[in-house]
């Protein structure tokens, strides 16, 4: 897969030159100002950013500081492109978070060498992070990775006004399962469930995570409420179809799941205010915790209703920016328990 490089420069000639040097080995996106650069980076985190140090409006230094303030972008290499070789410029650049400098007029061989070096470092960093983000028991994402991606997808959904759904799933009576069959059998059960959940997802960008114990999460970007409920049904049916015996269950004679789903999308208040800018951390940026809390409340409702079913809550945004969901009107999918 080619590397994704974000090129930020207000000079079309520089953009054309750098594109010609790097296009054979990378996918190049470009922005002509700092604001667009931050927006594009939030939508899809690049592997490398080439950033003009001198731009009108939001300067290169200010753009670099903004990018470094984003948790999802904090480890993306940034190479400043500048015509100035002043020591003070370099010091300010490194203090703002730059990884290296490319000087104009651009030397194609030197540019290519420095870009390749930064991409190698990024690959190594990504590999280390991925190893630290995998749940050793199930082979899916762990809680840390889930929290990071949830925060990043939330920002992207808010910025691009795309739907985002979250499903929390819990094995019904899992503690009774381990009491009955032992912890080794419980671990085998969880690995089987993780595999089934991966097959139930519909899009490559969907994430399966093990949150601990018998609890899993499905993070579903670009998924409206109807699609999220469909994924929840597939997940519950996939686990039920394995017919893993569970003699101690109070729900069914085999392993089942309950699910709570929350979706923030076109029925939400912010969707209708497309002209209002989204400022991370600002008053018009409700915290992602509201999405998690709604999914957890819906999961509890599914448990109280007897298990082996999914409840979905569509979230809306109040005038004060609070996320609200009405469990009383939640949609329910109940999976038929087969003997």
- Of the pLDDT bands very low, low, confident and very high (cuts 50, 70, 90), residue 312 is confident
Largest alpha-carbon pair distance within the chain? 77
Q: What is the pLDDT of residues 104-125, one digit of tens each?
A: 999 999 999 999 999 998 888 8
**Residues ≥6 apart with Cβ < 8 Å to 256:** 171, 172, 236, 239, 240, 246, 249, 307, 308, 335, 337
Lowest-pLDDT range of 34-38, 69-73, 177-181: 69-73
Rounded to an integer, what distance in angstroms lies between the CA atom of residue 270 and that of residue 295? Answer: 19
Instruction: Provide the pLDDT for residue 244.
Output: 97
Q: Which domains does the chain have, with CATH numbers?
A: 3-131 (3.40.50.2300), 143-334 (3.30.70.270)
Extended strands (E) in 187-308:
207-212, 215-221, 257-264
Q: How many CB atoms lie within 10 A of CB 83?
A: 13
Q: What is the pLDDT of residues 25-39, one digit of tens each?
A: 899 999 999 999 999
């Amino acid at each position: 897969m080619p590397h994704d490089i974000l090129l930020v420069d207000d000079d079309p000639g520089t953009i054309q030159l750098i594109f010609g040097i790097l296009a054979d080995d990378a996918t190049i996106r470009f922005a002509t100002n700092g604001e667009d650069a931050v927006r594009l980076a939030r939508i899809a985190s690049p592997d490398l950013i080439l950033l003009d140090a001198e731009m009108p409006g939001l300067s290169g230094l200010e753009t670099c500081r903004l990018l470094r303030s984003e948790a999802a972008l904090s480890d993306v290499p940034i190479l400043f492109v500048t015509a100035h070789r002043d020591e003070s410029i370099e010091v300010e650049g490194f203090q703002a978070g730059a990884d290296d400098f490319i000087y104009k007029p651009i030397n194609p061989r030197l540019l290519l060498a420095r870009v390749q070096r930064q991409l190698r470092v990024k690959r190594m960093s990504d590999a280390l992070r991925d190893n630290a983000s995998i749940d050793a028991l199930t082979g899916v994402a762990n809680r840390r990775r889930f929290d990071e991606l949830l925060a990043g997808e939330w920002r992207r959904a808010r910025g691009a006004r795309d739907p985002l759904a979250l499903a929390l799933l819990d094995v019904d009576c899992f503690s009774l399962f381990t009491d009955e069959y032992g912890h080794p059998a419980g671990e085998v059960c969880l690995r089987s469930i993780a595999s089934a959940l991966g097959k139930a997802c519909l899009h490559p960008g969907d994430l399966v995570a093990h949150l601990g114990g018998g609890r899993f999460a499905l993070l579903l970007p670009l998924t409206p409420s109807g699609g999220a409920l469909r994924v929840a049904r597939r997940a519950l049916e996939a686990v039920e179809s394995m017919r893993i015996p569970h003699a101690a269950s109070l729900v069914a004679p085999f392993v089942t799941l309950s699910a709570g789903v929350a979706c923030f999308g076109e029925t939400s208040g912010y969707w209708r205010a497309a002209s209002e800018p989204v400022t991370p951390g600002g008053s018009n940026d409700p915290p992602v915790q509201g999405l998690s809390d709604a999914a957890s409340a819906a999961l509890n409702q599914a448990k109280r209703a007897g298990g082996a079913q999914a409840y979905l809550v569509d979230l809306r945004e109040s005038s004060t920016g609070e996320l609200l969901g009405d469990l009383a009107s939640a949609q329910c999918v109940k999976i038929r328990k087969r003997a």
